[in-house]
Each structure stands twice: as structure tokens, then as C-alpha cells.
Chain A
Amino acid sequence: MIGRLVEGTPRRGLVLLAVLLMAFLAAPLVANDYMLTVLILILYFSYTGQAWNIMMGFAGQLSLGHALYVGLGGYAAAALYFHFGIGPWLSLPLAVAVAAAAGAILGFLAFRFGVAGVYFAILTIAFAEFARVGFDHFTWVGGSAGLFLPVANYTRNDLWTLRGNPTMFYYVILAMTVAAFVLCHLLLRSRAGYCWQAIREDEEAARALGINTFRYKMYAVVLSAGMTAFAGVFFAFYYNNLFPEQVFSISRSIELILGPIIGGVGTLVGPIIGAFLITGLAESLREVMHALGVDVPGLKQVFYGLCLLAVVMFLPDGIWPPLSRALGLDRDSSRGQGT
């Protein structure tokens, strides 16, 4: 199993990954609570970026509405906990199923009726907006006033109900991120991975080679949506509150895709590097501004915009592809390397 996992990955890459993993595992020993919350945010965006990447990076279907799946997953699990006391791990399958179903409906409508490219992206925004407006009036889950989970005093960590201190949440999201990384790595080498990449590169040629493009695009959307819903469950229990205006907003969808775009769309390492850079830099910027006593609302958004602009202008493939070449690692994770 391990052998199959690492096959074809250069030794240097494996060492680097191992060091990185050790560093992440040891981080709570040295990090204070604030640094830990930043790391949690970074891992959260690494995970969601990885999930989004399956749809866009692998299969070439641009989603600008992934907040939909975060929200649906979060609301499903939070509502079950709030109303019936059902723990997040029990409600996780339902949360994933709800988001996957939403993805399936969207995918079916789009792919059956040939909605592609920019129009597909607009459709994904529309679905997230429907959800935002709908949940504003969905009083069972609090409507626009929001849904709040009871916050207990964190005297002890309860992994089963996801109630605990940041260290526990940190290890949960770290495990999710590692699992997503391994899953995507395996997917990229699988039949589905090859079919997705073929569709991304040229859908007509993919079809001519016997690939049922409708089916594989559906797989990508459903899988991506389901994985994202898991992040939504985490989000709900970590922040303990959900507001439709926030959780389904387009800015959340954009925030979620910045990591993979900056790091490198279609690569395995890109979403992680991107999340690191964008979240890390944005938080440092906030700290610096705070220390200087300057309060500029919207500065984070301006900063995101500048980062995106710089990457699009100077590194259109993202940071990882040139970086991996410089490090001599480009056999394992560069764009389009299914082998």
C-alpha cells in the first residue's frame, strides 16, 4: 500500500513531505493559540482547495460557488446537533450526501444541457445564491438570524462531539488535509484521474477515445461537493455559528479558490502552498496593521486581489509548477502528471 502510494515520487519529494508532516504534527507544541488558529485556517483552506481542485484542476469544470457545499454540509450537521443532539460524525454522512446531491443536480442540469465554461461558472454562483436567499428564510435553522451551537466550557476535549480547544480542531483538520492529499494523489493516477484530465484538456478528443464525459464530470462534481461538505461540518463546529449571508456568500467561494489558483491549479501541492501564502500573509498583514494602530476595512480583500493579480501576471500556472522544477521535484505533482 505504502509502496503504491510513493511509487514514482522522487526521494527528495518524499523527504520534504515527511519533514512537512512532522512539522505540522509538532506545531501545537510551539505555537500559541493565535498561531494555532491561523494554522487551522491554513489547513482548512488547503483542504477545501484540494476538494475544489478535483473539479477545476483535474476535470476542468470551474466552480465559483463552492461555498454552497460548505454551507449545506455545515447546516446539515449543525441543525442535527442543535435540534436532536446528534454528533457531527454521525451526521457527517448525511451532510456529505446533501451536498453531493446538490452537486449532482447542478452537474446534471449543466452537463445534460451543455452548459459549459463561463456559463457553467455562472450556474454555480446562482446555486450558491439560491441557497443563501433560501436559508435566509429557513427558520428551522435560524433564518437570517443565524444558527448557534451551544458553546460549552472547554475543560476537556470531546472528539466525538467536536467540542474542545483549538489543538483538537487543529489535529482534526490536519488529518482531513492529509487524507485529502493522499486521496487526490491516488485519484490522479486512477482511471478517473486520467479521464478527468483528458476532459480538461479536450473534451471532444476524450469522447472520441471512449470516455463517457458526462459520467466522469458528474463524478468530479459529486466527489468535490461531498468532500467540501466535510469541511462545512468542521467549519460549523469550529466557529459554532452559521449565517446564510456569510457562509453562502460569493466572497467565501472566491476565498476558497484563491489557494489553488495561487499555488497551482491541478497540482497536489498547489492548494497547500497557496493556502499557506495567502492566509499566512493576510494574517501577518493584519498583525502588522494592528501593531501600527492602522485600521483599514477591506484591506484583506485588496491584498487578495493584489496577490491574484501578481500570480496571474507573472506565474500563470501558479507557484508550485516553477517551484517544483526549481527543487527538482516535478515528476510527482506538476500539472497533468498522472504518472
Chain B
Amino acid sequence: MPALLEVEGLSKNFSGLRAVQDVSFAVPAGAIVALIGPNGAGKTTCFNMIAGVYRPDAGAVRLNGERIDGRRADQICRAGVGRTFQLVKPFAGLSVLDNVIVGALNASRTMAEARTQAEAMLDLLGLAPKRALPAASLTLAERKRLEVARALATRPRMLLLDEVMAGLRPTEIDQMVKLLRDLNSARGLTILLIEHVMRAVMALSLRVIVMHHGQVIAAGTPDEIARDPAVLECYLGEEAL
């Protein structure tokens, strides 16, 4: 499988703190890949460099072979990368539907087209009954779904999901897992997700990349990762082995 997203030697310092050091990985087209690791491992910083929030200090990000690092976030979205935020960022004063319409404008020529696209996304994420409510009135689980609906409405080829399962109940996690798997198989959507919920990671991922202290310490299939001593050590501590 050719890589849709390629990250090569990515590094970022924040005033002396090495948040990400020389990280390289690839996400094959049509795959679901998980990025895991303890808090502060540099996962979200990696995301933000891919999505154009931060400019990398070194390294390259390629989408379909084309360099996208250093571009602005809106340009990267238009290039086909959708993202969600770990701390959800709904447009609180706008209705749920209007939130998704904003995302749908990215790939729509007219307002009517954007509205149709947004309605479809609300149906898909089960938010249709809430369409007229202000986004501020949603529960956390609904806000997470809204993040996904809004990102999907931009019609990305590649979706970056930053902890969309966190704070969800087990049944809600299963629903989200099913939804992502459907999107992946039915539409060929490529997904890179940061996730702490291992149940979701194991169920979804073709490949898992483990980060610790800003570096990639392991990469492989979920089964391989679950047995990797370096991974166990960083999660559980040395004595656990």
C-alpha cells in the first residue's frame, strides 16, 4: 500500500523542551493507524505539526508525496486533512447544524450544497435530532461526535482524531468504533488517531505507533505492540516486567 501520509524526521522544541524528536512514520492509504503513548509523549504536538498549527523545527510531512509541512492549517485542511481537537472546540454560540455547515463549506460551492452535506453528517453521527440546539448545550459525548461530524464534513482524505473516545461510556465507545470502521471500509477514509482507550485502539488499528518522551519507541501490529517490553515498561514501569 502506498503511504498517504508520511512523516519524516519531525522535531519540535518549545523553548528548550524537546517535545518531539526525529519522529518518522507512515500511514498507508486506506489504513487506520493509532498513535499511542503516555501523557506528554508528544502525540498532540505531532498532530499539530501535521495539521499546520505548528511549523516543525526539522523534518518533513508529505501528503500523497507532496510536502505540506509549513503550510497554514486552512491550506492543509483544503489539501484533504481533517482533524478534531483533544479539547473539543465547538462554535458554542452556533447551532449544531451551523457548526457542521462551517466544515461543509470547505468542499461545497454553494450554501445549499454545504447544508445538504452537513445534514448528511449529522445523520451519520446521530446528531440530527439536536440540529437546532446551540452547540454549547451538548454533552461531552455529543461534542466529541460534533467534532468528528465537522471534520468529516470538510470531506477529508485523511482524518486526524485526537482522543475522540476519551470521556465516553463503553457503549458510546463501541458506537464510535463501529462508525470509524464503517467510514474506513465504505469510503476508504484513512485515519490516524491518538487514543488512550486501548479497547478502541485494539479493535480499530492496522498498525500502532508508540511514542514516549518525544520519540517513537515501537511500531507494529496491535498484538506485537501489546507484547513489546519497551512499551510495557513505559506504560507500567520497570518493576512490572
A206 within 8 A of B: yes
Residues 190-209 of A at the B interface (beta carbon under 8 Å): 190-191, 194-195, 197-198, 200-202, 204-209
The count of residues in chain A whose C-beta lies closer than 8 Å to any C-beta of chain B is: 26
CB neighbours of A337 from chain B (8 A): 95, 98
B67 within 8 A of A: no
Q: Separation in Å of the A5 CB from the closest CB of chain B?
A: 14
Q: Separation in Å of the A200 CB from the closest CB of chain B?
A: 8
Contact in complex: B92, A194 (CB < 8 Å): no
CB neighbours of B103 from chain A (8 A): 209-210
Q: Separation in Å of the A93 CB from the closest CB of chain B?
A: 29
Given contacts A201-B91, A201-B94, A338-B94, contact A194 B73 (CB under 8 A): no
Given contacts A191-B105, A208-B51, A336-B134, contact A197 B154 (CB under 8 A): no
Contact in complex: A210, B106 (CB < 8 Å): yes
CB neighbours of B91 from chain A (8 A): 197-198, 201-202, 205-206, 336
Residues 314-339 of A at the B interface (beta carbon under 8 Å): 335-339
Given contacts A205-B89, A209-B154, A210-B154, contact A198 B97 (CB under 8 A): no
B interface residues, Cβ below 8 angstroms from A: 51-53, 72-74, 77-78, 83, 85, 89-95, 97-98, 101-103, 105-106, 111, 114, 134, 150-151, 154
30 intermolecular pairs with C-beta atoms under 8 Å apart: A194-B105, A197-B93, A197-B94, A197-B98, A198-B94, A200-B93, A201-B90, A202-B90, A202-B91, A204-B73, A204-B85, A204-B89, A205-B90, A207-B72, A208-B51, A208-B53, A208-B83, A209-B74, A209-B77, A209-B105, A209-B150, A210-B74, A212-B72, A212-B74, A335-B93, A336-B91, A336-B94, A338-B94, A338-B101, A339-B98
A interface residues, Cβ below 8 angstroms from B: 189-191, 194-195, 197-198, 200-202, 204-213, 266, 335-339
